[in-house]
Amino acid sequence: MSAPFDHGLVIGKFYPPHAGHHFLVRTAAGNCRRVTVVVMAADVESIPPAVRVGWLREAYADSPHVAVTGVVDNIPVDYGSDSVWTGHVALMREGVAAGAHAAVPVDAVFTSEPYGAELARRFGAANVRLDVARETFAVSATAVRDDPVGRWDALEPPVRAWFARRVVVLGAESTGTTTLSRDLAEALRQRGGPHALTRWVPEYGRELTVAKLAVARALAGRRGSPEPTVFDLEWSDADFEAVAARQSAEEERAARDGGPVLVCDTDALATTVWQERYVGRTTEAVHGLADAMPPRALYLLTGHEDVPFHDDGLRDGEELRPWMTERFRKVLSGRGVPWQEVGGDRTTRLRLALEAVDRLLAEGWRLAAPLG
């Protein structure tokens, strides 16, 4: 690789990483034989350093000469203090030493900040300053933290997935969960801008039911047995573990390329209730998958009282709807997560759901200020 510099250094909080940060790293990667990116995160900040390091490593996974490391830096910023500078630079050197290029001296420092000259001097390196006026990429981490929706196009997929407000619609059979979740996603898409990217995550359990029933009917036909119905299907703990795992995986995929709100038709927590309903208990494996989910911004519980039961050939529990609704209420109340029960006709339910989502967005993300 022909490059003017041997070892480039990019430092920052990356709280969170955005298009301007990536401009720095890409420029360093294109002009250095080796690059070390050091994430310097303070304990008071809301995004853990390991998460930020993971985001950047994913972004440069196809650039083996770019090494990403992280250090905890709880030293306040004071550009006029030599001792503070010495402390910060010592941590930067620790970060470089932890990377793959520790044996090679840094000979170029890439920044877009006024402190770049002093930082380069302390490393005995060239001072490469980019886009100081933020004209090439008009974005900053402060702007992202203040308004992620307004800076959505400056974020990479894993960062979008972290910021996405996950709204989960759940409820008993034939209570309108799919209708409401579809309507909510479509209403958000109609708003345009970043919301035009709003994704809807379908219920994998329904897909599995269709598949299991088709296989059962095929086997019965080969044996000359009567055609089975959904009442004849057998469900195992392994089925529900597969449902919870697949539901979470599909949700994560959708969050990465979706908008600021992700609408989910059920999730792994709801699967714990469905497992209880069909098998009589919930296993630790399914509970574990529910506990491992990213934070839920809001649950919307669809009540059964306003929706007549509709048998579409895949449902078998009309008499259990009151029990399931009450079970969901108890599970959500004990979970300590925001939730709201919605009832009424289709239009009313959508209005209530949109009002709840708008309250979420108005609250913002409430990220802690960086250590200054």
pTM: 0.92
**Same-domain pairing of 182 and 127:** no
pLDDT for 173? 87
**Are 21 and 136 in a shared domain?**
yes
153 inside domain = no
Q: How far is CA 80 from CA 7, 68, 84, 120, in A?
A: 27, 28, 8, 16
Is residue 36 within 8 A of residue 95, CB to CB? The reply is: yes
pLDDT under 50: residue ranges of the chain: none
User: What is the predicted pLDDT for the residue at 1?
Assistant: 53
Cα 353 to Cα 339: distance, rounded to the nearest angstrom:
11
| Cα(234)–Cα(225) distance, integer angstroms | 17
Print burial letters for 219-250: b (CB count within 10 Å at least 16), e (below 16): eeeeeeeeeeebeebebebebbbbbbbbbbeb
- CATH number, domain at 223? 3.40.50.300
Contact 44, 368 (CB under 8 A): yes
Domain span at residue 344 reads 164-363
pLDDT of residue 135: 84
Residue 344: predicted pLDDT: 94
Q: What is the DSSP string of 239-258?
A: HHHHHHHHHHHHHHHHHHTS
d(CA 185, CA 182) in angstroms, rounded, equals: 5
In terms of domains, do 198 and 297 share one? yes
- Classify residue 158: in a domain, yes or no: no
In angstroms, the CA 27 to CA 196 distance is 31
